[in-house]
Amino acid sequence: MHGEGTSEYPLPQGGSFMGHPRMLWMLLWVTTASNFAFYGFRAFLAPYAADTFFANLPHDEALKQANFLFAGFGALNYGLAILGGWVADNVLGEVQSLRLSLWLVIAGLVAMSIPTLYIFLLGLAFFVLAIGLGIPLTVLIGRNYATNDPRREAGYTLYYMAINFGAFVAPWICGVWIAEHYGYHWGFIAAAIGQLCGALIFEWKHRKVTEPVARPRFQRAWSTPAVVVVAIALAFPCAWLLSQPTIMEIVVYVLIVLLIVYFATSSVRRGERIQSQRYLALLILFIAVVLFWAMSLLSASALNFFARDYVGSIWPAFTLHVFGSALHVPASNYLVFQSVNPLYILIFAPVMAMLWPWLDRHKANPSTPRKFGIGLLLVALGYGALLYAVEFMQLPGGKVAAWALLVCYLGSTLGELALSPIGYGLVGKLAAPDEASLAMGGWFAGVAVSYVMAGQIAAFTTSGGIEAYARVFEWLLIGGVAVALVYLLAAPAIVKLMHGVT
């Protein structure tokens, strides 16, 4: 029954709207606002850093340093999700952790608008610390449903669409419109205003959001101010880490090893064979997610520079005649490509959400591990399209047509839809209930490893012109297809480790 609760958390009251609990829709608005803020400045972060902070370096070195900074930002952002998940589970509680996150992110964005490298790094560091506390938002989506509620996966698909609606609108407003015309520092302010909207919405309704019955073991009256003080203190070493890409890589890999050791120890302590095997299945799928995002996350770093330097406009400059007046429309800005992936998701997410049940009714629905293999295959083939365009279809002037990058993003998007929304829901079902937020933080921390790997891959594209990009596209095509085949073939064995979780 949809209305039944669980022993771990009650289900929200207030009825349903469009077939889903009403509180889900409030959380979706918060999700949209938060991702507007995140993707608003992320769209121009690497080019902004190259032009503002590394302009005195040779061109290739400026691009490399900007790519490393972007990778460090992403790695720290997702790596600290582990800490954020732990604080939510053990100190603040899920709702209070998310409340605090929404407000602190605004302070980080405002600091990032100041074009001084040290203050910028402090703001960026504070931003990632603050956003890590928002990890419970993903878990709270699932709290609207009983564990066996068939609407649960659809709820996570709606969540994914909310993420990508914010991500689609943000580059146009914060980047193409405000940053390009009024200065990039105003792009950060626009992102902060979007975040403010999300914070106000959640502040209005947060008392009606349900969370686990059990009180966090370290929760005290002074927990919130203590967390704020710790976040401010940690911003300084985190800012230093952002300026040290090699040390950042070591820290991220150490964090992941510690996380794996923690869950392995937890499994041994529980002495539950089924739970241990589920954690093993989660680890195997975690590796697939890391490799997928390592390929996909090049979109905002290496592929952002590739779009700027080697890809033609999506549309050429043209003139519209409106009521006797001529309106000149310039050629598309390269930042427009940052909206392509979320646009594809908005278009294809409903199709994929209907495809899986249709395949299930016809007994042809791929297992979850097989979907992960399909996702890896699609992102790899997308790079194959770019490789083909560079090798055989260069335009006069050494650029390639926009369709090649659009096809690349299409492969990445369809691959993302094959594995990512399912992955979100899977963590809550495979992890032990009392470790759900930490496990979700660990899942996000895998993306930190992906950012580090993406930064290392991007470094190979900065010297050698378009031919350097072609070499990287070839590696991604061959390697991605090979790993995808491994998951497609190993899927039945992974399914057995999941013990009925689908």
**pLDDT tens digit string along 276-332?**
888 888 889 999 999 999 999 999 999 999 999 999 998 877 776 666 666 666 778
In this prediction, residues 190-197 reach a mean pLDDT of 96
Q: Which distant-in-sequence residues (6+ apart) come within 8 Å of 152 by Cβ?
A: 142, 145, 146, 425
Instruction: Evaluate whether 466 touches 390 at the Cβ level (below 8 Å).
Output: yes
Residues of the chain above pLDDT 70, percent: 91
Radius of gyration in angstroms for the set of CA atoms belonging to the chain, rounded to a whole number = 22
Q: Which two tokens stand for residue 492?
A: 């039945």
Which helix (H) or strand (E) is 48 found in, with range? helix 45-52
Instruction: Evaluate whether 134 touches 101 at the Cβ level (below 8 Å).
Output: yes
What phi, psi does 463 have (nearest 5°)? -130, 125
What phi, psi does 329 have (nearest 5°)? -110, 115
Residue 490: per-residue pLDDT: 95
Instruction: Evaluate whether 113 touches 396 at the Cβ level (below 8 Å).
Output: no
Ranking 133-137, 152-156, 198-202, 443-447 by mean pLDDT, the lowest is: 152-156
Which helix (H) or strand (E) is 322 found in, with range? strand 318-322
Average pLDDT, the chain: 88
- pLDDT at residue 131 is higher than 50: yes
In this prediction, residues 40-65 reach a mean pLDDT of 94
| Domains of the chain, residue spans | 16-314+334-498
In this prediction, residues 376-388 reach a mean pLDDT of 97
Considering the domain 16-314+334-498, what is its CATH architecture? Up-down Bundle (1.20)
Q: Name the pTM for this structure.
A: 0.85
SS3 6: coil
Q: What is the C-alpha separation between 30 and 456, in angstroms, rounded?
A: 33
Residue 298: per-residue pLDDT: 96
- pLDDT at residue 98 is higher than 70: yes
Ranking 37-51, 57-71, 200-214, 237-251 by mean pLDDT, the lowest is: 200-214
